[in-house]
Copies of this chain bind each other. A is one copy, B any other.
Amino acid sequence: MGTPRCSLAANISAGTEANLSLALPITPAFSPLYRQIKELILNSLRSSEWKPGEVIPSEIELAARFRVSQGTVRKAIDELAAENLLLRRQGKGTFVATHAEQQVQFRFLKLVPDNGPPGGEGPAQRHIIECRRTRASADVARALALRTAEVVLQIRRVLSFAGTPTILEHIWLPAAPFKGLTAERLSSYKGPMYALFETEFNLRMVRAKEEIRAESAIDGRELLLKVKHGTPLLSVERVAYTYQDEPMELRRGYYRTDTHHYLNTLG
């Protein structure tokens, strides 16, 4: 750029630095401009300056705001779009990703019917069994980064496809951010649970990890899923994270795999 430009942050690589300290390379400590811009955009997302589903300012506007070129903003947005935090739509603008979209559903629910495409059976029927306040056990607390015995919401529900109960889920949520959530609200809401979290509690789940094991249907799970005692089930333990990488949900799912399977693609 022809005109001098004020740097956005103290860029570490500015001086040569005597470097008498043992030069521990904890991290390269060099952050290109576009990553700093990315961080600024992320901050706007975290602070809900733009909400899920909304447009963010155009690349040209953002370039002007941050005093960088459009290309630099572009590269920042590229990364955020690759991480599914933003969604670009040519001719329309760039939008904050939301769970209230069809395509997004199957990024988090990987169970698909053995025959036919994902979601070919239409949306699942949801049945909330319970939603109550309780205290976190040691493992629940650890997963949610809480202290043991802190108050959490515990939800149990069953998802059915074509009338067949297929998924049994136990969900734990920290009570504070989800203050006011009830079984009634969960039952009456049409749409994915994560979409409800966005609109009602301003909490967006952006990332998750799942640990999958094989277990027998026991302890009453066989009754809710209507399978024989001891039937092998897929146990899927998910921890979901928000923009700030805080664990916000623990979900233990038990999947029947006689008519469905968990589909994963490796690249």
Contacts and interface: CB of A to CB of B under 8 A. Distances in A.
A267 interface: yes
Contact of A234 (B82, B214, B238): B214
Q: A84, A213, A214, A266 — which one has the most chain B CB atoms within 10 A of its CB?
A: A214
A248 to B, nearest CB: 14
Contact of A263 (B83, B209, B265): B209
Interface size range on A against B: 20 to 34
Contacts of A255: 214
A211 B266 contact: no
B214 A267 contact: no
Interface string A252-266: 000101000111111
Contacts of A264: 110, 209-210, 212, 264
A206 B265 CA distance: 11
Contacts of A221: none
A5 interface: no
Contacts of A213: 234, 257, 261-262
Nearest to A240: B266
Interface in A27-85: 82-84
B108 A263 contact: no
A32 to B, nearest CB: 12
A267 B83 contact: yes
A107 B263 CA distance: 15
Contact of A257 (B83, B206, B214, B257): B214
A177 interface: no
A214 B230 contact: no
A266 B209 contact: yes
Nearest to A85: B267
Interface in A157-185: none
Contacts of A238: 266
Interface of A: 82-84, 107-108, 110, 206-216, 230, 232-234, 238, 255, 257, 261-267
Given A214-B234, A238-B266, 15 more contacts: A107-B266, A110-B264, A208-B265, A210-B265, A211-B262, A211-B263, A212-B234, A212-B264, A214-B214, A214-B215, A214-B255, A215-B232, A215-B257, A230-B230, A264-B264
